[in-house]
Amino acid sequence: MDISSILQGGYQHPLSRSWQAKRNITKSMLMYPIFITDDPNAHVEIPSLPGQARWGVNKLEEFIGPLVKKGLKSVILFGVPLTCEKDGSGTPADDPNGPVILAIKKLRALYPELYIACDVCLCEYTSHGHCGVLNEDNTINIEPSVARIAQVALSYAQAGAHCVAPSDMMDGRIKAIKRALIDNGLGNKCTLMSYSAKFASALYGPFRDAAGSAPSFGNRKCYQLPPAAKGLARRAIQRDVVEGADIIMVKPALPYLDIIQDAAALAPDHPLACYQVSGEYAMVVAGARAGVYDLRTMAFETVESMVRAGA
Ligand SMILES: [Zn+2]
C-alpha cells in the first residue's frame, strides 16, 4: 500500500482522535435557554420538550444551582407571561415586575459569575402574537417595531443583562438597539447578540408550546428567512456586522450547517453562535427514546457538527 493511503495511524488512540478536531466543545460554549413564567412558584413540565420546564423566579435557585455547580456559565432567558394583559405593542415585555426583569435581578444576585443573556422579542407579549407592531392591514409596521424592540432591549440591559439577543428579525433593529445602549451609557456594558440568520423553520413548535407565542393569525414568513435563502442569510449576517452586532447567530442549527460555515467566513472576527432549537432538541430526545441511537452520543454528535461548521 502507498504511504499516502494510510490515515488510520493518525487517530488510533482516543487522545489522537481528539486532536483531529480544530476545536473541542467546552462547557463555556454552551448557553442554557430558560423559560421564566409569571407565576413565581411555577415548575411546569413542557410536554413537547421532554425534561424541560417553565420556571418561576422563586424556583430558579433550585433549578440553576446544580447546573452552575456542574459548570454552566451562561443562560438565555425567555419570558413566558401567562397572566399579563397583552396588547398591540407588547407592553408587558419590559414590565419591571415581569418575569424576565425579575429573573435577571435574581440570577445576578444568586450567581454573580453567571452570564445572563435575554432573548428580545415582542411575540410573547403582543395580543396578535407577531414579533413586531402591525399596520391596520396586519402587515409589519417596521419603524415602531424597531423602536419598541430597542426599548425592550434597553430595559433588559438596564436591569442587568450582560447580553441582549433580538430574535424578531425586524430590519434595522441591530443598529437601533446598539444606538439605544450607547445613548444610555450601556454601550460598553452589554453585548448585542443578533439572531442574524433566523429561518422560518418547522422546528420551533415545542418552543411555541413552551412560550405560548404562536401567532393568532398568519405566520412569520415575512420576517424570518425562507429555508432555501442562502443569499439572504449571507446579506443579513453582513448587515448585522455593519449595524453593530457583537455576536452573530444562526438559527436553527442542524439543518443550517452550511449557513454556519458561511457566517464563520463572512464574520471571521466575531464570535459565532448557533441555536439548537426546541424541535432539534425534541428530535434528539425522541430518537433516543425510540431506540435509534444513544442520547448522549447523539447530543455530542449534533453539537460537535455545529462547532465543526464554525460555531
Ligand atoms: Zn418573536
pLDDT reported for residue 113? 97
> Is residue 211 pLDDT above 80, yes or no?
no
* Beta-carbon count within 10 A of 171 CB: 16
Is the pLDDT confidence value at 67 over 90? yes
Residue 3 clears pLDDT 90, i.e. is over it: yes
Of the candidates 142, 153, 135, the residue with the CA atom closest to the CA atom of residue 195:
153
pLDDT digits (tens, 9 = 90+) for 139-168: 999 999 999 999 999 999 999 999 999 999
**Is the four-CA dihedral 108, 64, 81, 206 of positive or negative sign?**
positive
Q: Ligand 1 (ion): which residues have CB within 5 A?
A: 121, 123, 131
Cα-to-centroid distance, 235 and ligand 1 (Å): 21
Average pLDDT for 191-217: 89
Tell me the CA–centroid distance for residue 295 and ligand 1, in Å: 30
Query: According to the model, what pLDDT value does residue 49 have?
Result: 93
Mean pLDDT calculated for residue range 126-139: 94
User: Per the structure block, which three cell numbers stand in for 56?
Assistant: 418561576
208 CA to middle of ligand 1, Å? 10
What pLDDT does 306 receive? 98
Distance between Cα 66 and ligand 1 center (Å) = 30
**pLDDT at residue 131, rounded to an integer:** 94
Write out the binding residues: 121, 123, 131
Instruction: Please tell me the distance between residue 125's alpha carbon and the centre of ligand 1 in angstroms.
Output: 9
Residue 57: all three cell numbers together: 423566579
Give the percent of the chain with pLDDT over 90: 94
Binding residues for Zn(2+): 121, 123, 131
Helix axes 142-159, 99-110, angle to 10 degrees: 30
**Measured torsion, CA atoms of residues 58, 60, 62, 65, in degrees rounded to the nearest 10:** -140
Residues labelled catalytic: 198, 251
Write down the mean pLDDT value for the chain: 96
Please give the single-letter amino acid code of residue 21.
A
Kindly list the domain boundaries of the chain, sorted by start residue: 22-309
Q: Which of 21, 17, 101, 14 is nearest to 57 (CA)?
A: 101
- Identify the pLDDT of residue 209: 76
* 121 Cα to the center of ligand 1, angstroms: 5
Instruction: Give how far Cα 124 sits from Cα of 1, 92, 290, Å.
Output: 62, 9, 32
C-alpha of 90 from chain center: 19
Q: Is the pLDDT of residue 86 over 80?
A: yes
What tens digit of pLDDT does each residue of 15-29 get? 999 999 999 999 999
Cα 49 to averaged position of ligand 1 atoms, centre (Å) = 19
Handedness of CA 76, 170, 259, 272 (dihedral sign): negative
For the ranges 65-69, 91-95, 174-178, 209-213, the lowest mean pLDDT is seen at 209-213
Determine what percent of the chain is predicted with pLDDT higher than 70: 100
CA of 196 to the centre of ligand 1 (A): 13
Q: Decide yes or no: CATH 3.30.2320.80 for domain 22-309.
A: no
What's the pLDDT at 215? 85
What are the grid coordinates assigned to 261, written together? Answer: 460555515
User: Which pLDDT score is estimated for 208?
Assistant: 81
Placement of cell 417596521 in the chain: 142
pLDDT at 212: 73
Q: How confident is the model at residue 43 (pLDDT cuts 50, 70, 90)?
A: very high
Q: In this model, does residue 299 exceed pLDDT 80? A: yes
